[in-house]
Structure 1
Amino acid sequence: MKKLMITLCVMTLSYTASAQYNPGFRFGLKAGANLSNINGSNDLSLNSGNTAFNFQDNSNRSLGFAGGVFFRFGRALYIQPEILLSQKGGQFNMYKDGVKNEDGKVDLRFSNLDVPVLFGFRIARFFRVNAGPMASMKLSPNGKIKDSFEDVTDENGSVTFQNRLSFGYQAGVGLDFGRLSLDVRYEGNLNEIVKVNYNNATTAAQFGKKGNLFQATLGLAIF
């Protein structure tokens, strides 16, 4: 019984020390998942010969990885910059003469380097609220949308893809448990992350879409 009481006391002290771990500076690792989508106010319609093609929004979200490092400066009020590798994407419905193609959709996925800078405050010891700007650089192109456009356009057409760098914002809440932290956020884009210009002798069209996602990550403060 005595040994059990000593063990319980040691575990309680250890947990209390961990729970009160709240220095003015933190550095750590974090990883989690994105549920992302791409949509916009305009759909794209193309005509190739006597055939009409349409690319339209799809409400399905794509699952991707998010992970990297974070820095936190401050206690009650804090600034938290992060460097994250983030997989994002979405889907478009593709129609040919009003009928979906064989796959029914075009699946887009991008690998991005994200740098959010969040400004936050604590409501209680464990609960945080934060929001701030974010810059995102596309690291890898997605070949599926390019292949899809090439399938429906002729050799006289010119298709260009723009916006490797995009800007947006993140906002969300967090919970701290000692060195562990859980964050749930919403991310939106201020400019288009997918912008397609298509030109040929008879058609000139633009296709611009913004992205948004829900992100959940678990972080571990190293110091």
Structure 2
Amino acid sequence: MKKIYLLSFFVTAFAAKAQVKIGYALGLKGEAILTTMQTDVAKRSYSMGFGNGFGFFARLKTGRLYFQPEFKYANQTTYQKDTDKNKVSFTSFDVPVLLGGYVFKSKNGSVRLFVGPELIFFNSFKNDGEDLFNPRNSSSIRSGTGSFVLGTGVDFKRISVDLRYKMGMNSVKRKTTSSPNETIQQIVLSVGYKLLYKED
């Protein structure tokens, strides 16, 4: 009797596993980035600046859920308005890890919603041409920060289009008694092309 129960368990588990279909995608993407910063300094504010980025994305999906890690290089700009619009520009390697769901899904296209954290590793950070970031020496700029990402996207077979909002979770400045709290805020439009993909 125990053998029959054990056999039934394995047959049921195998059948359940066989019903789970996995899809995937691997591709390239380019981004247009609007950047500003929020600050707790009373007389300081920033205006939007334009930037761009490019990178890779991978997607694993099953049913209406998917998991999407990315790796990107981004060039971003904003302007400090209280000092005759000083240009603040920085480059970074960004690693978002997204969890999403399909609102609509068919063979020809789909509509998605997604959220997730993003790690940002600075490569340079300049204020009117002066580089404030030097990883070898003491710097007022952190080596990295983090953001929370939420957005929506559509897919047309090999083409993937996303619109996302990135809300900074940590200040770009190292914490001292005099350092202001300044976080990155971004709106990002991205277009991706799936080099490899398989529907689930």
Task: Give the TM-score of the pair, scaled to structure 1.
Answer: 0.68
C-alpha deviation, 1:86, in angstroms: 1.4
2:87–2:127 contact (8 Å) kept in structure 1: no
C-alpha deviation, 1:160, in angstroms: 4.5
Distance 1:173 1:118, change over 3 A: same
Could you list the per-position Cα deviations for residues 42-66 of structure 1 after superposition, in whole angstroms to 9, with x for gaps in the alignment?
A: 24xxxxxxxxxxx6113x2010002
How far apart are the structure 2 equivalents of 1:143 and 1:168?
A: 21
1:195–1:209 contact (8 Å) kept in structure 2: no
* Partner-residue secondary structure (3-state), 1:212: strand
Q: What root-mean-square deviation, in Å, do the aligned CA atoms of Structure 1 and Structure 2 show?
A: 2.4
Matched, 1:134 2:139: no
How far apart are the structure 2 equivalents of 1:85 and 1:190?
A: 19
1:80–1:117 contact (8 Å) kept in structure 2: yes
Matched, 1:186 2:186: no
How far apart are the structure 2 equivalents of 1:221 and 1:205?
A: 47
Matched, 1:25 2:5: no
How far apart are the structure 2 equivalents of 1:176 and 1:24?
A: 14
* Partner-residue secondary structure (3-state), 1:56: coil
Determine which structure has more spread, i.e. the larger CA radius of gyration: 1
User: Counterpart of 1:91?
Assistant: 79
1:133–1:169 contact (8 Å) kept in structure 2: yes
- Unaligned 5+ residue runs, structure 2? 1-21, 133-137
Could you list the per-position Cα deviations for residues 172-192 of structure 1 after superposition, in whole angstroms to 9, with x for gaps in the alignment?
A: 000000110100000011100
Match of 1:219 among 189, 192, 196: 192
How far apart are the structure 1 equivalents of 2:33 and 2:60?
A: 25
2:124–2:131 contact (8 Å) kept in structure 1: no
Could you list the per-position Cα deviations for residues 63-105 of structure 1 after superposition, in whole angstroms to 9, with x for gaps in the alignment?
A: 000210000011421100000111223221345xxxxxxxx12
- Unaligned 5+ residue runs, structure 1? 1-22, 44-54, 96-103, 149-158, 198-203
* Partner-residue secondary structure (3-state), 2:40: coil
* Aligned positions, number: 166
How far apart are the structure 2 equivalents of 1:32 and 1:206?
A: 31
How far apart are the structure 1 equivalents of 2:166 and 2:90?
A: 15
